[in-house]
Amino acid sequence: MINRRRFLNISGRTMLGAGLASLLPRQLVAADNSFSDYKCLVNIFLYGGNDSFNLVVPTSNAEYNVYAASRQNLAVEQLDLLAINPDNSDGATYGFHPSAGALQSLFEAGDAAVIANVGPLVAPVTKEQYLSGAASLPPQLFSHNDQQAQWQSLKGDASLATGWAGRIADQLAAETADQLLALNTSTFGTNLFQAGAVSIPYSVSTTGANTYGAFGAEAALGAERRAAFESHIDSEFGNVHARALAAVHKRSLASADLVNQALAQAPDLATVFPASFLGAQLNIIARLIAVRDRFEMCRQIFFVGAGGFDTHDDQNELQPGLLSDVADSIQAFQLAMVELGVNDDVVSFTHSDFGRTLTSNGDGTDHGWGGHQIVTGGPVNGRQIYGQMPILEIGGDDDATGGRIIPTTSVDQYAGTLAEWFGVDTSALDIIAPSLSNFTTSNLGFV
């Protein structure tokens, strides 16, 4: 048996899964502690497992030689790497992949930072603990679906059906009660990251709010169909489930109208985005941010997805284009935020299933564990590398086995830092990142 509230929640997510918009219902009690500022997070998820050990590479001779010996035919030429000059130093020097010049520019300008060797962890792990079986570990390491779920939910070795952005929305429900649109919006369909216990995420396409296909027919016929449908869902249904489903349809129609009418008034951006799916997603997000006041938004989290990073084969041919698209799209989004005057309010950050193996399988790499992530935006304390760069040596102290690098920074720390900047009270951070208390540092300081 499920009660009416549970049915509404399930129905709302089902409609979103079908690509239909749904408004987050306003709270019954007015907020008494609303935010007076605006903050936005943008999660750029690189599906498949980005080989970030070729994105940020040591350039100092000793460290580069170890890297090159491990990566074999996949190693980027030392002279081709784009040098960066971090304000902090571990004694080595580093550079970006030659296709990621846009990220190098952002880093050198102080608008980007590298979060080194991040991965899902329950608690800090040494190689000895890993090999002896003494470590508490997230289950099913190196599995795409399981590790995507780990990054998006932070569930560790527990059972957890919500995502950490969804829990942020639940936690900040009172402060964001006056928003006309859900705190969480996706341009990549449904995802675990934004699933809340009570909050309902919202979904758009790269052209705006999705609506019912039958209404897109010739104008007169489409209007007639919509009128008939609205008349039907306004009926007095005797069944509680039918009434709940009708309410979902009403919210879907209302939200699509609200969003598309607002987007029609959005200013034209001078910033040119790459002609890619990732570029198009970040473009529509920029346009939604531009009209945020029409939705009375004070907090927003967006989810963006890009695929193709599972480079078991043809990595040398595929990776330059993948990294170029990521770098150029992130830079375009950053320029759009400056153009809109909200650069100091928006933080973008990358996620991916896992890093990849240091070893080459002959034509590519296999599933790894730890990897580097990129954070950009005006609030970022940029031009720094946060965390500990691993030793990229096969069989070295950081190699679990098979060239899989053990993370030294947890996704919980990464998420907890972002959540605290976003406005989550420090006392509630363990709700957002359940394993955070197992680590000495809860805030990495990059924002």
What's the pLDDT at 251?
85
Which position has the higher pLDDT, 10 or 64?
A: 64
Per-residue pLDDT at 33:
67
Tell me, what's the pLDDT at 20?
Answer: 34
**Phi, psi torsion values for 153, nearest 5 degrees:** -110, -25
Q: Which among 190, 168, 131, 151 has a CA at the least distance from the CA of 45?
A: 151
Over 60: is that where the pLDDT of 24 sits? Answer: no
Short-list 429, 420, 428, 345, CA closest to 36: 345
Round the average pLDDT of the chain to a whole number and report it: 92
For the residues 55-76, what does the mean pLDDT come to? 98
Q: Residue 134: its pLDDT value, please? A: 95
Share of the chain above pLDDT 70, in %: 92
pLDDT in tens, 419-433: 999 999 999 999 999
pLDDT at 332: 98
What pLDDT is stored for residue 34 in this prediction? 84
pLDDT, position 98: 98
pLDDT of 30 over the 60 cut: no
pTM greater than the 0.75 cutoff: yes
pLDDT confidence of 165, banded at 50, 70, 90?
Answer: very high
397: tokens are 């102290």
> What confidence score (pLDDT) does residue 182 get?
95
pLDDT at residue 89 in the model: 92
137 — pLDDT class (breaks 50, 70, 90): very high
| Range with top average pLDDT, 8-12, 112-116, 235-239 | 112-116
Percent of the chain with pLDDT over 90: 87
pLDDT at 327: 98
> Which pLDDT tens digit goes with each residue over 255-278?
899 999 999 999 999 999 999 999
Dig out the tokens for 298 from the structure.
Answer: 């004070």
Residue 16 pLDDT > 50: no
> What whole-number distance in Å separates Cα of residue 305 and Cα of residue 351?
9
pLDDT over 90 (residue 219): no
Tens-place pLDDT, residues 375-416: 999 999 999 999 999 999 999 999 999 999 999 999 999 999
Residue 13 has pLDDT above 80, yes or no: no
Contact 294/265 with Cβ under 8 angstroms?
yes
Segment 79-102, tens digit of pLDDT: 999 999 999 999 999 999 999 999
- Do 348 and 377 contact (CB within 8 A), yes or no? yes
Tell whether the torsion through CA atoms of 53, 420, 196 and 37 is positive or negative: negative
Mapped onto helix, strand or coil, the DSSP state of residue 371 is strand
Indicate the pLDDT class of residue 19, thresholds 50, 70 and 90: very low
Which has the minimum average pLDDT: 10-24, 193-207, 234-248, 323-337? Answer: 10-24
In this predicted model, what pLDDT tens digit does every residue of 318-351 receive, in sequence order? Answer: 999 999 999 999 999 999 999 999 999 999 999 9
Please tell me the predicted confidence (pLDDT) of residue 192.
Answer: 98
The string of DSSP letters for 252-304 reads: HHHHHHHHHHHHHTPPPPSPPPPSSHHHHHHHHHHHHHHTGGGGT-SEEEEEE
Average pLDDT over residues 222-233: 91
Distance in angstroms (rounded) separating the CA atoms of residues 51 and 355: 6
